[in-house]
Structure 1
């Protein structure tokens, strides 16, 4: 895989995870809400859990940063293909972790999680998605 194909694949991964972050919340909002005390008691713990999941990205971002540095060092060498592959695997793992707060917001929608809380969790996931974009140095 050459450099252009690797960048294109990383770009497609980013767009795919953008859809995986936004679409579940939009779809689940049309489901009926659970009535009763069960949903009311789960909404706040789900929101707090979503906020805690944002902090799971700290080690993932560190690994992504190290993979970026290793890829930049390997540009133009024989190890470039494996560096791009390693960067993609680290980035996909980080993107899955970045999407967790939005997915928890989608799970909480039928349980009574307020739309503002859902929006905050989705915006947090989108902000993390922006952290995992490919920097200009590798483009």
Structure 2
């Protein structure tokens, strides 16, 4: 595959995960409607906040893969570097979506709209970190 194909593929996976991150929260909000405030709402919110920390390790691995891919451009190791980057990218995107997915589960525990938006915003910010830079074109 060419560099453009790899970039396009990684960009599509980013957009796909964005949809998979937003979809469950919207669907749970529609299905659950107005749930009573439960005792699990606050612990689930805290779990959603704590779910951001594994992304630190995943981001470090992703940045290393980005640097390795940039160094491998134009060499024989380029296809392997792109595959490694794609693998790290996938794992990092899943890690970035964790707070939003926990917010979707917490809807059934009665988590209010503001904490849901905070967890969703945290996931969106983390997801923005994993855009493929233009330097790899």
Following the alignment from structure 1 to structure 2, what is the Cα–Cα distance between the partners of residues 57 and 67? Answer: 15
> How does the TM-score come out when normalised to structure 1?
0.94
Where do residues 11-90 of structure 1 align in structure 2 (5 Å cutoff)? 11-32=11-32, 33-35=34-36, 40-90=38-88
Deviation at 1:56, TM superposition (A): 1.0
Computed over aligned residues only, the root mean square deviation of the Cα atoms, in angstroms, reads 1.1
Task: Count matched residues.
Answer: 136
Unaligned runs of 5+ in 1: none
Where do residues 93-104 of structure 1 align in structure 2 (5 Å cutoff)? 93-104=91-102
Unaligned runs of 5+ in 2: none
Following the alignment from structure 2 to structure 1, what is the Cα–Cα distance between the partners of residues 64 and 56? Answer: 13
Is the Cα–Cα contact under 8 Å of residues 35 and 107 in structure 2 kept in the other structure? no
> How does the TM-score come out when normalised to structure 2?
0.95
Following the alignment from structure 1 to structure 2, what is the Cα–Cα distance between the partners of residues 18 and 11? Answer: 11
Following the alignment from structure 2 to structure 1, what is the Cα–Cα distance between the partners of residues 4 and 11? Answer: 10
Is the Cα–Cα contact under 8 Å of residues 67 and 86 in structure 1 kept in the other structure? yes
Following the alignment from structure 1 to structure 2, what is the Cα–Cα distance between the partners of residues 132 and 34? Answer: 34
